[in-house]
Structure 1
Amino acid sequence: MAGRCLRLSRRNTDALITALALPVMMLLIFVYFFGGAINTGTEYVTYVVPGVLLLCAGFGSSNTAIAVTEDLKGGIIDRFRSLDIGGTPILTGHVLASTARNLVATALVLGLALAIGFRPTATPAGWLAALAVLLAFVLALSWLSATAGLLTTSPEAAGGFTFFVSFLPYPSSAFVPTDTMPSWLHAFADHQPVTPVIESLRGLLLNQPVGNTPWVALAWCAGILAVSTALSGVLFAKRAR
C-alpha cells in the first residue's frame, strides 16, 4: 500500500514539485525578507529553521487528506475490499508514504539551511532525539490528515485541511518568540502542540537545555495519533459500506 501511494506521488509531478519547493521558498523568504527586521537574540536562520522544518512536515502531511479522498471517490476502495484488504493497511500505506515524502523534503530544507548559515551543534544523541520528535509529529499529523480525508467528500474540501495545518505554526514560537505576542495569543501559542515540538527541535539541534519539553511534545503527538487512528477506523467503516 505504501509503495502504491509513493508511485501515485511520483506520477503527480506538479504536487510533488510543490511539496518540495514550497518549504524551500518559505525558508528563503523568512531568512532574507523578514530576518533582518526580527530580533530573536541570535542569527535568524538559526532561530527559524526548526519552525520551517515543522511547516514543511505540516504541508507534506496535509496532502494525505487529498489522497485518501481521491481513493474514496475513485472506486479503488471497493476493489480493495473485494480482495479482503481492510482499512488499516490502506490508511497505513498513505501515512508511510507521507512520512517518506516528508523525510525527503526535510532533508532538502536542512541541506539548504546549512548552505545559508544554519550551524547546529547537536550531539549524535541530540540528532537522534530531534529525528524521533520530528518523526512522531509527522506520523501523528499524517494520521490526522488521513482522518480529515475520510471526513470530507471531495479533494477540494480535503485541501482545506492544508490551510489549517499550514497556519498552525504561525501562532507558535516557530518564527518569533511567543512573549512578543499579545497576552491572549501568547497563552494559546504556549499551549498548542506545535510549540513544544519546535522548542524541542530547536534545543536539541542547538545543544541547549530542553527540560521535559520533548516529553510534552511526544505526549501531544501520542494523543493526536491515538485519537486519529481510532476515529479513522470508525470513519473508514462508515465510508466504505
Structure 2
Amino acid sequence: MSGLSTALADSAIMLRRNVKHTLRNPLVVFNAVLFPIVLMLMFVKVLGGAFSVGEDYIDYATPGLLVMAVSYGLGSTATAVNDDMRKGIINRFKAMDVSRGAVLTGQVVVTTVRCLVACAAIVAVAFALGFDPDASALDWLGVLGLILLLAFAAGWLTVALGLAAKTAESAGLATVPLVMLPFLSSAIVPADTMGAGVRQFAEYQPFTPIIETLRGLLAGHPSSGDAYAAVAWCVGLAALGYAWAVSTFRKRA
C-alpha cells in the first residue's frame, strides 16, 4: 500500500474514532448543534424586535448564526486534541505505526462535519421561523463552499490551539475568542450602528466579511469585495493553523 493510501486509511480510522467520542458525549453535541439553535430562538424571538435592520430579522440574522454555529463547537476539539497529547494517546498511535498526520487530520475532518451538521440544523430552524432567501442553486453552493472553507480553517486553528495548550482547561479557554468574535461583527446588528471603536473593529475583523458574503449569497446578490476578503481570511487562517499545528505536533509528539 502506498504512503498516501496508508495516510488516508489511517485518517478514516481517526475520523471514526473521533465521531464515536462525539456521539458518546452529549455536552459536545449540545454545544455544537443545540446551543446555536437556542441562540437563534433567543435573538429572533426574544430580541429581534428591538433591532432595526431594514428587513425581516430572521433573514438578517441567519448568516451570522451560521458562523456562530461553526464557532460554538470548537472548544471540544481543542480539549480532545490536548487530552490525546497529554495522556499519551499520540505515543500509542506512533507505536502502532499510525500515520502522525492522520491524528490531526481526523480531528479537523470531524470538526468540519460537526460544523456542517450544526449549520444544517440552523438552516432548518430558520426556515421554520420564516426565513425566505432569494438564493439560487449556485448561491447555495457558494454558501456551502464558504462554510466548508470556514470550518476547515477553524478546525486547523483549533487543533493548533489544543496542541499548544498546557492543560485541557486552557485548551478550551483558548477558543473563547473564536466564540466571541461573531458577537463583535455584523452578525447581530449592522456594524455601522455600533459605537466608535467597536464599529471599526467589527468592520475589519475576519468574521464580518464572511458573514456579509453569506448574507449576500442568501439574498441573491453577493458582493465580490466581501467574497474576496472572506476567502482570503479563511485561507490565511487555515494556513496559519496548519503550520502552527504541524510545528507544535513535531515538537511535542
The TM-score with structure 1 as length reference comes to 0.96
For the pair 1:55 / 2:55, whether they are aligned, the reply is: no
User: Which residue of 146, 151, 160 corresponds with 1:138?
Assistant: 151
SS of aligned partner of 1:183: coil
Query: 1:190 corresponds to which residue?
Result: 203
Deviations 1:62-118 (A, max 9, x none): 321111011112221111111233432111100000111111111111100000011
* Structure 1 stretches lacking a partner, 5+ long: none
Query: 2:108 corresponds to which residue?
Result: 95
Q: Distance in 2 between matches of 1:215 and 1:89?
A: 31
Q: Distance in 2 between matches of 1:219 and 1:24?
A: 28
Query: 1:84 corresponds to which residue?
Result: 97
Structure 1 residue runs of 4 or more that deviate by more than 3 Å after TM superposition: none
User: Which residue of 161, 165, 179 corresponds with 2:178?
Assistant: 165
User: Which residue of 101, 113, 122 corresponds with 1:109?
Assistant: 122
How much has 1:225 moved relative to structure 2? Answer: 0.7
Query: 2:252 corresponds to which residue?
Result: 239
Q: Distance in 2 between matches of 1:15 and 1:124?
A: 32
Amino acid aligned to 1:95: V
Deviations 1:9-49 (A, max 9, x none): 11112321332210010000000111011000011111001
Say if 1:133 and 1:214, in contact at 8 Å, map to a contact too: no
Amino acid aligned to 2:38: M
Query: 2:48 corresponds to which residue?
Result: 35
Say if 2:15 and 2:109, in contact at 8 Å, map to a contact too: yes
SS of aligned partner of 1:63: helix
SS of aligned partner of 2:224: coil
Q: Distance in 2 between matches of 1:63 and 1:30?
A: 24
Deviations 1:120-148 (A, max 9, x none): 11011100011111111110011100000
Q: Distance in 1 between matches of 2:202 and 2:57?
A: 19
User: Which residue of 144, 158, 164 corresponds with 1:151?
Assistant: 164
Q: Distance in 2 between matches of 1:90 and 1:8?
A: 14
Say if 1:203 and 1:210, in contact at 8 Å, map to a contact too: yes
SS of aligned partner of 1:168: helix
Percent same amino acid among aligned pairs? 39
Amino acid aligned to 1:225: A
* Structure 2 stretches lacking a partner, 5+ long: 1-13
Query: 1:20 corresponds to which residue?
Result: 33
Q: Distance in 2 between matches of 1:185 and 1:13?
A: 36
Q: Distance in 2 between matches of 1:23 and 1:53?
A: 8
How much has 1:181 moved relative to structure 2? Answer: 1.1
Deviations 1:49-71 (A, max 9, x none): 11111001011233211110111
For the pair 1:221 / 2:234, whether they are aligned, the reply is: yes
Distance 1:188 1:18, change over 3 A: closer
Task: Please report the RMSD computed on the Cα atoms of aligned residues, expressed in angstroms.
Answer: 1.2
Amino acid aligned to 1:158: A
The TM-score with structure 2 as length reference comes to 0.92
Q: Distance in 1 between matches of 2:38 and 2:206?
A: 24
Say if 2:75 and 2:173, in contact at 8 Å, map to a contact too: no
Amino acid aligned to 2:98: I
SS of aligned partner of 2:19: helix
How much has 1:167 moved relative to structure 2? Answer: 0.4
